[in-house]
Structure 1
């Protein structure tokens, strides 16, 4: 269970597929991607109190960041206060 002070903060998670892709990157690139995701999560703030769970409706937004020639695709789930890294791809020039 989350602590009360963390209820308005977003957590950063990494999907299994993204972990495999991250393992092939240089350490510096991985660290920069993680820093960007952490900074993005820190900037996300809910506009309303924590909503009650909805039965079948979830609002998930897909976003991306560009780091060292790689595109990181991630999802933002405001209902669960979660940012999930889904995929890392090399950006074609």
Structure 2
């Protein structure tokens, strides 16, 4: 029998473009981004049932994480219970 929390588990995937961008990051930054995405996936819960989407339409939402000086853009696919890292952008630090 499956445990209830396993029913909610979202997987984390990385797009080819994001893999290329992550190859240029320091290891510690890559690990922090991955840990943050894993934490988000672990907290994801199914939403209140909504009307079924139209045929050929996937309910995907784009979100972002700020990790150190980088912004990680990822998509949440509630139908497939999947987070996909799409892009990592460097964000310059604003002077005070």
TM range (shorter): 0.7 to 0.9
Q: TM-score, normalized by length of structure 1?
A: 0.85
1:1-93 maps to which residues of 2 (within 5 A)? 4-5=2-3, 6-47=6-47, 55-93=55-93
1:15-65 superposed Cα distances (whole Å, 9 cap, x missing partner): 00000100110000000000000000111111357xx89631211000000
Paired residue total: 90
- Runs of 5+ consecutive residues of structure 1 not aligned to the other structure: none
Write the distance in 2 (CA, Å) between the matches of 1:54 and 1:46: 19
